[in-house]
Amino acid sequence: MNLRNIAHYATTRRVTAVVALAILFLAFRFFLTERMEGGPFVSMLTLGLGLFGISLVWDRIEQFTLFGSEIKLRNLTKSAEHMLSNLSESRVSLYRIALRLVKQESRVPDDLLDARDERSVDAIDLLKEIEKADLIEPLAPEIIATLDVIIDKTHSRLLEAPLFDRQGAAPGPDELLKRYDEHAIGNFAAVRQETPTDTRLSETIEQLRIMLEYRHKASTALQDSRH
C-alpha cells in the first residue's frame, strides 16, 4: 500500500470517528433538552456506536453486514481486538447512562384516567436495543433499577382506573395483569366498542407487561452471573 493510500485510509478513519462522536454528542444533547424522544435517541446512539466501532478497525475491514450489505472482517490483530474490547466497554457505559436518563420523571398526562408514562416507551425502545446487543447481563442492575421506578409509577396510575376498583390490599403488577386479562376475556365481544380511555388503558397494560418481562430477564441474568 503506497503512502497516498495510507493517508487516504487514515483520513477516512478520522472523519468516520469524528462523525460518530458528533452523532453521539447530538443524541445526548437533543435527548437531555427534550428535543428528541426515546426512539430516535436509541437509533442515533446505535448508529454512533456502530460508526465508532468501524473507525477503530477501518484498516482491518474487508467485509461486514450493514443495512443488508455484506462486508467481511479480516483476522484482527491483538491491537484491533483490544480496541474492540474498549469499544464494548464504552458501549456498556453509554447504555448505562441512557438507562439513568430514561428513568428521569416525565410529564404527567393531563387526563387522570390516562395511566401511560412517556418513559415506558423510551425504556422499552432502549431495552430492545440492549437485548439486540446482548448486553442485558452486564447492564442487569441498571435495567432492574430503571424498570422498578417506571413500573412502580405505571402500577400506581393503573390502580386509579375504574377497572381496578378494589377492596382490601392493592394487587401487585403481576396480579393486576392477570385481572386485566380475565376482564378482557370476559368482555371479548365488546372489544370493537372500546373508548379512547379503554385504548389508552390497554396500551399501558401492554407496556407494563413488556417491562415486567424485561425485568425478569435482567433478574435471571443477574442471578446466573453470580453462580
Model pLDDT for residues 146-168, shown as the tens digit of each residue: 999 999 999 888 888 777 766 56
Give the pLDDT of residue 211: 96
Higher pLDDT, 216 or 30: 216
Higher pLDDT, 79 or 140: 140
pLDDT at 169 over 80: no
Nearest 10 degrees: CA dihedral of 21, 23, 27, 29? 60
Which residue from 225, 216, 205, 47 is spatially nearest to 127, judged by alpha carbons?
Answer: 216
| The three three-digit cell numbers of residue 202, written as one number | 390497554
Q: What average pLDDT is seen over the chain?
A: 74
Q: What is the pLDDT of residues 36-63, one digit of tens each?
A: 776 677 777 777 777 776 666 555 544 4
| Cα gap 207→118, rounded to integer Å | 10
- The mean pLDDT value for 104-120 works out to 60
pLDDT at 130 over 80: yes
pTM, whole model, 2 decimals?
0.62
* 35 CB burial (10 A radius; 0-12, 13-18, 19+): exposed
Higher pLDDT, 198 or 126: 126
Q: How do the domains of the chain map onto residue ranges?
A: 1-102, 108-227
pLDDT at 197 over 60: no
| The three three-digit cell numbers of residue 136, written as one number | 442485558
pLDDT at 6 over 70: no
Indicate the range of 17-21, 184-188, 205-209 predicted with least confidence: 184-188
| Cα gap 75→163, rounded to integer Å | 60
At residue 4 the predicted structure's pLDDT band, cuts being 50, 70 and 90, is: low
How many percent of the chain have pLDDT more than 90?
18
pLDDT at 203 over 50: yes
